[in-house]
């Protein structure tokens, strides 16, 4: 099998079905599946069917038969999927059948029959990426590839230089998603702040207006939609500062996922990343002045080749001063083909693990203090799940899958996933907040 599992996709029927197809395709791409245009190249084929009139049923059954003949591994979804017995009577060998608008169920079947390999250095989704995205939030991929050459990373080798999608295309997709029930757009790419650099910020037409293909214009436009917009993987370029006023205005969520990786200038230089942590601290202070509710998430690598105890102390000082809200940390491990593998000064594994534990201990206390400071505050909560005895959702500061949750105890009538409710925070535990509706 190829490095990225390959999927062929056949979409039949009306525009609504097309939106469903786009939704499934977006999810497949976000999880690292490769979409291929022929049956022969595919490891698996999905047929999104129509069952509206007899002619459409016949066309759908034929399309399934064609895919089975040409490829053999076929999943069926869409309107005709409601009539599973009819499909199985004609094509008993299909791998699975799901009905219309069943994104989660389709993805579950794809994972079962063609698992996506997880690579933390390549995947845009969190490690629990196989968890299904409920239909009220969606990942909006704005570009592919990266122009940086961080020494620990092989993404540019694998996916090439940055290729941005024109702003009109991204905004059309966002509008379709919101129309289809999405209430939170998670903007992802390998390098979100570089959006448009490759296109020289070219003008594109959207809604009859010329717009620059650049992150600030994109954020401003997404902010007009009746959904939350959350920015992920924002490399710390200076122009990121321009986004903070949009957060203060309430156009996009006051949330920035900004991978900093380290704070020692020496280590950052070895990583081939911008090395100005003093400047970073003053920028963070400014961001908090402009948008006091901003939630900052970052990731760090400890035990990078050549990292001394002094470098590591510098990192600890930084996190103590920056007091970031959410932090992920990893002990460095070499990635096959990465330039960093050639660097001298490999840090012994026990030292790496010891540093990671020290780092996490300090950050855990900071995160606890941050959660404690939320008690008594009011926030808007997006409902992810309605359980028998409680509501589970998230506030503006919690990205799905990677951050904490907000929990409201009790049985609640008339509330569904995707609803927004106002709550007051009443308590917290290690990761989550507890709240009551106001
Ligand atoms: S910014 Fe660096 S770490 Fe991120 S994808 Fe580009 S090269 Fe890799």
The pairs formed by 285-288 with CB atoms below 8 angstroms and a separation of 24 or more are: 286/241, 286/244, 287/241, 287/244, 287/256
Dist. CA 191 → ligand 1 center (Å): 7
Task: Please report the pLDDT score of residue 42 as a whole number.
Answer: 94
Task: Please report the pLDDT score of residue 125 as a whole number.
Answer: 47
Tokens of 166: 């024109």
Pocket test for ligand 1, best of 163, 191, 261, 332 (most atoms within 8 A of CB): 191
Task: Please report the pLDDT score of residue 54 as a whole number.
Answer: 72
Neighbours of 411 (CB within 10 A): 10
Looking at the chain, how many residues does it have? 438
Does ligand 1 lie within 6 Å of residue 189's CB atom? no
Dist. CA 272 → ligand 1 center (Å): 10
Task: Please report the pLDDT score of residue 96 as a whole number.
Answer: 93
Dist. CA 113 → ligand 1 center (Å): 31
Q: What is the C-alpha separation between 103 and 215, in angstroms, rounded?
A: 29
User: Looking at ligand 1, which atom is closest to the CA of residue 191?
Assistant: 1
pLDDT above 70 (res 411): yes
Does ligand 1 lie within 6 Å of residue 61's CB atom? no
User: Looking at ligand 1, which atom is closest to the CA of residue 261?
Assistant: 3
pLDDT above 60 (res 421): yes
Residues 35-66: pLDDT tens digits?
888 999 999 999 998 876 677 788 899 999 99
Task: Please report the pLDDT score of residue 52 as a whole number.
Answer: 64
Task: Please report the pLDDT score of residue 275 as a whole number.
Answer: 74
Burial class from Cβ neighbours inside 10 Å (0-12, 13-18, 19+) for residue 118 reads middle
Does ligand 1 lie within 6 Å of residue 148's CB atom? yes
Question: What is the model's pTM?
Answer: 0.72
Q: What is the C-alpha separation between 30 and 14, in angstroms, rounded?
A: 24
Closest Cα to atom 8, ligand 1: which residue?
Answer: 153
Q: What is the C-alpha separation between 412 and 409, in angstroms, rounded?
A: 9
Task: Please report the pLDDT score of residue 126 as a whole number.
Answer: 41
Dist. CA 374 → ligand 1 center (Å): 33
CA distances from residue 299 to 155, 331, 375 in whole angstroms, order as listed: 17, 11, 26
Does ligand 1 lie within 6 Å of residue 155's CB atom? yes
User: Looking at ligand 1, which atom is closest to the CA of residue 272?
Assistant: 2
Residues 2-47: pLDDT tens digits?
568 999 999 887 655 666 787 788 788 877 788 888 999 999 999 9
- pLDDT class of 289 with cuts at 50, 70, 90: very high
Task: Please report the pLDDT score of residue 200 as a whole number.
Answer: 97
Pocket test for ligand 1, best of 144, 153, 195, 261 (most atoms within 8 A of CB): 153
Does ligand 1 lie within 6 Å of residue 150's CB atom? yes
Does ligand 1 lie within 6 Å of residue 146's CB atom? yes
Q: What is the DSSP letter of 198?
A: G
- pLDDT class of 101 with cuts at 50, 70, 90: low
Q: Name the nearest CA neighbour of 76 among 100, 56, 42.
A: 100
Q: What mean pLDDT do residues 163-171 have?
A: 94
Does ligand 1 lie within 6 Å of residue 235's CB atom? yes
Task: Please report the pLDDT score of residue 103 as a whole number.
Answer: 75
Tokens of 295: 């939630």
Q: What percent of the chain has pLDDT over 90?
A: 67
Residues 102-132: pLDDT tens digits?
777 888 889 889 987 655 444 544 433 333 4
Does ligand 1 lie within 6 Å of residue 153's CB atom? yes
User: Looking at ligand 1, which atom is closest to the CA of residue 235?
Assistant: 1
Of 206-210, 215-219, 373-377, 395-399, give the lowest mean pLDDT range. Answer: 206-210
Does ligand 1 lie within 6 Å of residue 138's CB atom? no
Does ligand 1 lie within 6 Å of residue 191's CB atom? yes
Closest Cα to atom 2, ligand 1: which residue?
Answer: 150
pLDDT above 60 (res 168): yes
Residues 234-280: pLDDT tens digits?
998 889 999 999 999 999 999 999 999 999 999 999 999 987 767 89
Tokens of 159: 């996916």
pLDDT above 50 (res 343): yes
Q: What is the rounded average pLDDT for all residues in the chain?
A: 89
User: Looking at ligand 1, which atom is closest to the CA of residue 153?
Assistant: 8
The alpha-helical segments, DSSP class H, found in 180-323 are: 215-222, 244-248, 265-271, 277-290, 309-322
Q: What mean pLDDT do residues 190-200 have?
A: 95
């Amino acid at each position: 099998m190829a490095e990225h599992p390959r999927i062929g996709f056949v979409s039949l029927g009306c525009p609504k079905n097309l939106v469903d197809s786009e939704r499934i395709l977006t999810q497949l791409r976000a999880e690292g599946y490769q979409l291929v245009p022929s049956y022969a190249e595919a490891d698996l084929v999905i047929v999104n069917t129509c069952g509206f009139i007899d002619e459409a049923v016949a066309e759908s059954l034929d399309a399934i038969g064609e895919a089975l003949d040409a490829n053999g591994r076929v999943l069926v979804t869409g309107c005709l999927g409601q009539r599973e017995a009819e499909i199985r009577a004609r094509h008993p060998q299909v791998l699975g059948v799901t009905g219309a608008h069943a994104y989660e169920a389709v993805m579950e079947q794809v994972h079962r029959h063609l698992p996506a390999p997880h690579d933390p250095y390549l995947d845009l989704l969190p490690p629990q990426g196989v968890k299904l995205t409920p239909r009220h939030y969606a990942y909006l991929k704005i570009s592919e590839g990266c122009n940086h050459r961080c020494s620990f990373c092989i993404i540019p080798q694998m996916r090439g230089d940055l290729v941005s999608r024109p702003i009109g295309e991204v905004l059309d997709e966002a509008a379709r998603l919101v129309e289809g029930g999405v209430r939170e757009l998670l903007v992802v790419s390998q390098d979100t702040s570089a959006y448009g650099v490759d296109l020289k910020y070219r003008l594109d037409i959207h809604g009859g207006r010329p717009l620059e293909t650049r992150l600030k214009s994109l954020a401003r436009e997404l902010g007009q939609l009746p959904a939350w917009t959350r920015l992920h993987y924002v490399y710390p370029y200076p122009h990121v500062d321009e986004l903070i006023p949009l957060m203060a205005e309430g156009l996009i969520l006051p949330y920035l996922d900004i991978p900093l990786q380290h704070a020692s200038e020496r280590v950052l230089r070895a990583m081939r990343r911008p090395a100005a942590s003093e400047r970073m601290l003053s920028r963070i202070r400014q961001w908090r002045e402009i948008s006091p509710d901003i939630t900052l998430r970052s990731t760090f690598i400890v035990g990078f080749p050549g990292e001394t105890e002094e470098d590591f102390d510098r990192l600890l000082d930084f996190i103590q001063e920056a007091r970031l809200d959410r932090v992920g940390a990893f002990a460095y491990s070499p990635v096959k083909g990465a330039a960093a593998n050639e660097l001298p000064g490999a840090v012994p594994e026990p030292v790496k693990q010891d540093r990671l534990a020290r780092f996490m201990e300090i950050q855990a206390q900071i995160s606890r203090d941050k959660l404690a400071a939320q008690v008594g505050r009011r926030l808007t909560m997006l409902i992810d799940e309605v359980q028998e005895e409680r509501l589970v959702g998230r506030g503006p500061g919690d990205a799905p899958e990677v951050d904490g949750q907000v929990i409201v105890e009790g049985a609640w009538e008339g509330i569904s996933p995707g609803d927004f409710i106002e709550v007051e925070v009443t308590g917290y535990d290690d990761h989550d907040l507890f709240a009551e509706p106001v």
